[in-house]
Chain A
Amino acid sequence: MSNLLQTLRPRIKSFGESLYLLARNKLSLLALIVMILLILSAIFANVIIPYPQDIADASHIEDKLLPPSAEHWMGTDELGRDIFSRVVYGARVSLRSALGAVGLSLLIGVPLGAIAGSFGGWVDNVIMRLTDVFLSFPPLLLAIAMVAVLGSSLNNAVLAISLSWWPWYTRLIRGQAISVKERKFVQAAETIGTGKLKIIFRHIMPNCISPVIVQASMDIGGVILTVASLSFLGLGAQLPTPEWGLMISMGRTYFPDKWWYCIFPGVAIFITVLCFNLMGDAIREILDPKTRKK
């Protein structure tokens, strides 16, 4: 137990330092607060939302398409469901699929990149040509094609997005690994006699990860957008899931008379993506002192 505490102590200290650096930039601080709120509301969506039954296909036709009021903060949709409840619950859907897609891409991309960069030679060639194949398709198009094969569902959309996304991480990590493997501690490990795989995964990879963390945190915004786009096209989340893109797609027939139907999910997407991008910038400033503003 005391060992665990001792192991954690330096991490807590560096966390404190990161927070200090982040708080120097007011915009990043704001983004962090909004992001924490978003995550909390995604986790506790069931507790927060006023009409839990509305996230499924409950219908109260008598209340349909009501404008925002004290009772329904963001109005209601064509089935009389509370849009506020659905937007808040939508945060859970979007964040889960975004984290899933980015996480899966990292899981594929990072080890491949580390292996390619550390080994070089033909291994590198094979892996990099594979990434080239995936990169030669526009990501949205590739995702559409895959969903068309696998069938439309949110999970398939997430899978499709990760398959088109991982090559970016592979390239990023590979570039880093090529420079990290020249560092002295890698040579030291070689003289010690540490195994090749251990060198790659314990020495090289952890030292390549910073730019990937930055990239991934920015990508979350992009993936949320892509998921929303796929859902908008009917290739992602299916009714009655309260997914933002899908909600906009349903609401656009009532636009602009019943503006609240489209606008509020749109604003939710906008704020989420903006926050993740700002956080990405903030994380980069923390991890890479060179880009820090004076």
Chain B
Amino acid sequence: MAYFEIKNLHVTHKSYEGIKDVLDIEHLTIERGETYGLVGESGQGKTVLALTILKLLACPPGKIESGEILLEGENLLALSQRQMQQRIRGSKIAMIFQDPMSCLNPVFTVGSIMTDVLQTRRKGLSRKKATQEAVKLLQEVKLADAESILSKYPHQLSGGQRQRVIIALALACGAELLIADEPTRNLDVTIQASILKLLKELQQKRNMTVLFIANNLSLVSAFCDRVGILYNGKIIEENTTSALIAAPQQEYTRVLLDAVKAESRSAEPVEGGEELLRVEHLKKYFDINDDIKHQKHLCLKAVDDVSFTLRKGEVLGIVGESGCGKSTLVNTILNLFEPTDGEVWFEGKPALGAGRKGGSAFKKNVQIVFQDPYWSLNPRWLIKDIVAEPIEVYERLGEADKIRRVKELLTMVGIEEDACYKYPHEFSGGQRQRIAIARSLASQPKLVVLDEPTSSIDVFSQEQILALLKDLKKRFGLTNILISHDLGVVHEMANKIAVMYLGKIVEFGSAEEIFHHPRHPYTKALFDSIPSLATQGMEGLKTLEGQIPSPINPPQGCAFHERCAWACDRCSCETPQQTDLGGGHMVSCLRAEELTELM
């Protein structure tokens, strides 16, 4: 008898459009101690499955039509909510949700959340005992300084710390089956690696079984023994991890694999034309008004003395952990934020603080495509109005001419013309991103900023969007700035790369150089912590220890020295200057020269 088994599970969802099948799983078994990876994109039914197993699915609109979910031979679907609560949830099956920001109650301290859970589960546990237990659990998930964390509120913890607290909560009652629903989704790559390592260790130590849900095959390849691919609610392929990666049977699996294999393709080198954009010593500090403590002169240095030059036809990729200032940098260049200091030159003319007229010429020439196409299109506008918005601002066109232009733009990005009279919610994420691209091109710009253009759309569309972007870039001779945490995307698109850390560019150079010969320890650590298909087992996954320091109070000397494996005494007192290693490869590291051999 298998430890965990799903048989003929059929779940439907009822809505205005009618009844839709969301899950149709014929058979799925997980043996004790196994790690099973369930991979699929959003909307394929992964989370519905997790909720169904725990009997937390909202019914209606959901409905479990038929099937059995067996845990050690016992059918969970036949149990009442009360029995689930008492015997299964928490004590036998625990779940880690994907968003650590929203699943800890913000009005309680970590300590009271944890002791509360412990005391509910184990009747008669005194408060003191429960606190001791909580400390032990926090130490088990490797949270340094467990006692002080108990007295903190969730918002005082970083994303990685919160996810560790949630893992501790999941462990609190000795669950044997752990459902991890994209546990690293909103975390940084560097933190992602350490959370995965922790989960693996805990699993081995406690002999747990893990159902690991992910949207990305590269995460699973390092972590899981077996993988199932979920597509449209069905498991279309299942195999051991290595066999699945080596010989995928289904087209969909191949697409998923290709999406994470992007490193095989790299951007074509571009002869840089004349200078298009020059950023000089740009600074953006945010004042922090701490009214309660009356602390003055606090400021958050989101962008701290950044300079670079972009030539016509180049694609600059900006990479770094979240909070490093990538988005602020771009928003400041785009004039959305008032810069604290510094200058931006566009085609040899100053772009910041220019008069109204000059400003609008700059705006016409510089457009942006945002990360999330669900929020970047006004949900109450028709597509024709959305795409025509820049045309309305810069050109006086009659209604008929305007519609004709909109249709041209839509055809160009591969959207059918009758989309004009639809609302954004009628389109998929990929299609919406195409519409956003069409809008960004409507004013015939020269520079288009791409802020994580593919990170919130499914893999099928990702490839097509990248191809479209490359095609449009060629056709119109565009210059791009690309922000992405997905190094595959950066590798494919960018021919120059800037690595940012705490508001500063720590390394800048051609993509070729930076990918193959990273000179800054941070760049190297960043690249190493990203799991790829080649990563076999958790040993291959390097982690970058420690949290990103607060940009309000950055460390003395080199901002990275606290987390750097190569730091020496000098690093903690001397601030490194940008040095040119030749060929425009700039790096801010005191030991750049010596480390070339060491790394």
Interface residues of chain A, those whose CB is within 8 Å of chain B, are 3, 6-7, 9-10, 16-17, 20-21, 183-185, 187-195, 202-203, 206-207, 294
Contacts and interface: CB of A to CB of B under 8 A. Distances in A.
Interface stretch (B192-200, B388-396, B524-532): B388-396
B184 interface: no
Interface stretch (B146-154, B246-254, B419-427, B543-551): B419-427
Nearest to B386: A185
Interface stretch (B79-87, B345-353, B373-381): B373-381
B191 interface: no
A185 B425 CA distance: 14
Nearest to B367: A191
Closest 7 CB pairs of A and B: A6-B421, A193-B363, A184-B376, A184-B375, A206-B380, A185-B378, A17-B16
B365 to A, nearest CB: 10
B421 A9 contact: yes
Nearest to B373: A184
Nearest to A14: B423
B363 A10 contact: no
B366 interface: yes
Given A10-B421, A192-B443, A185 B393 contact: no
Nearest to A194: B393
29 contacts: A6-B418, A7-B382, A10-B382, A10-B422, A20-B16, A21-B16, A184-B370, A184-B372, A184-B376, A185-B375, A185-B376, A187-B368, A187-B370, A187-B376, A188-B368, A188-B377, A189-B378, A191-B334, A191-B367, A192-B389, A192-B390, A192-B393, A192-B439, A193-B363, A193-B364, A193-B393, A202-B381, A203-B378, A207-B380
Contacts of A202: 381
A47 to B, nearest CB: 36
Nearest to A8: B421
B393 A187 contact: no
B360 interface: yes
A294 B376 CA distance: 30
B52 to A, nearest CB: 15
B375 A193 contact: no
B60 interface: yes
B375 A183 contact: yes
A191 B368 contact: yes
Nearest to B360: A193
A187 to B, nearest CB: 6
A178 to B, nearest CB: 16
B107 interface: no
B288 interface: no
A199 to B, nearest CB: 10
Given A6-B421, A21-B16, A207-B378, A189 B370 contact: no
A147 to B, nearest CB: 38
Contacts of B371: 184
Contact of A207 (B58, B379, B382, B389): B379
B336 A187 contact: yes
Contacts of A9: 421
A157 B336 CA distance: 47
Nearest to A9: B421
A16 B443 CA distance: 37
B378 A192 contact: no
Interface size for chain B: under 10, 10 to 19, 20 to 34, or 35 or more residues?
Answer: 35 or more
Interface string B51-68: 000000011100000000
A203 B375 CA distance: 12
A43 B426 CA distance: 37
Contacts of A10: 382, 421-423, 426
A16 B381 CA distance: 19
Nearest to A19: B16
B421 A7 contact: yes
Contacts of A190: 336
B367 to A, nearest CB: 6
Given A185-B376, A203-B378, A207-B379, A192 B422 contact: no
Contacts of A185: 375-378
A192 B376 contact: no
Contacts of A203: 378
A53 to B, nearest CB: 48
A9 B423 CA distance: 10
B178 to A, nearest CB: 27
A192 B367 contact: yes
Contacts of A17: 16
A192 B378 CA distance: 14
A150 B16 CA distance: 51
Contacts of B58: 294
A20 B377 CA distance: 26
B394 A193 contact: yes
A192 B16 contact: no
A188 B421 contact: no
Contacts of B426: 10
B23 to A, nearest CB: 19
B63 to A, nearest CB: 12
A6 B367 contact: no
A185 B387 CA distance: 12
B16 A16 contact: yes
Nearest to B368: A191
Contacts of A207: 378-380
Considering residues A7, A16, A192, A194, which has the most beta carbons from chain B within 10 angstroms of its beta carbon?
Answer: A192
A63 to B, nearest CB: 53
Interface in B420-439: 420-423, 426, 436, 439
A167 to B, nearest CB: 25
Nearest to B378: A185
A10 B424 CA distance: 11
Contacts of B364: 193
B393 A188 contact: no
B393 A191 contact: no
A5 to B, nearest CB: 9
A203 B377 CA distance: 10
Contacts of A183: 375
A294 B390 contact: no
A187 B366 CA distance: 13
B289 to A, nearest CB: 14
Contacts of A20: 16
Contacts of A7: 382, 421
Given A187-B370, A193-B363, 16 more contacts: A3-B421, A6-B421, A7-B382, A10-B382, A10-B426, A185-B377, A188-B376, A188-B436, A189-B378, A191-B336, A192-B367, A193-B360, A193-B364, A202-B381, A206-B380, A294-B59
Nearest to A182: B375
A195 B393 CA distance: 8
Contacts of A188: 368, 370, 376-377, 436, 439
Considering residues B389, B393, B420, B423, which has the most beta carbons from chain A within 10 angstroms of its beta carbon?
Answer: B389
B275 to A, nearest CB: 22
A3 B393 CA distance: 23
A191 B308 CA distance: 21
Nearest to B58: A294
A155 B420 CA distance: 45
Considering residues B371, B393, B420, which has the most beta carbons from chain A within 10 angstroms of its beta carbon?
Answer: B393
A184 B334 CA distance: 14
Nearest to A187: B336
Nearest to A16: B16
A194 B389 contact: yes
A281 to B, nearest CB: 19
A194 B439 CA distance: 13
A189 B360 CA distance: 13
Given A184-B376, A207-B380, A193 B422 contact: no
B424 to A, nearest CB: 9
B59 to A, nearest CB: 8
A120 B477 CA distance: 40
B249 to A, nearest CB: 39
A294 B60 contact: yes
A9 B420 CA distance: 12
A276 to B, nearest CB: 25
Interface string B132-169: 00000000000000000000000000000000000000
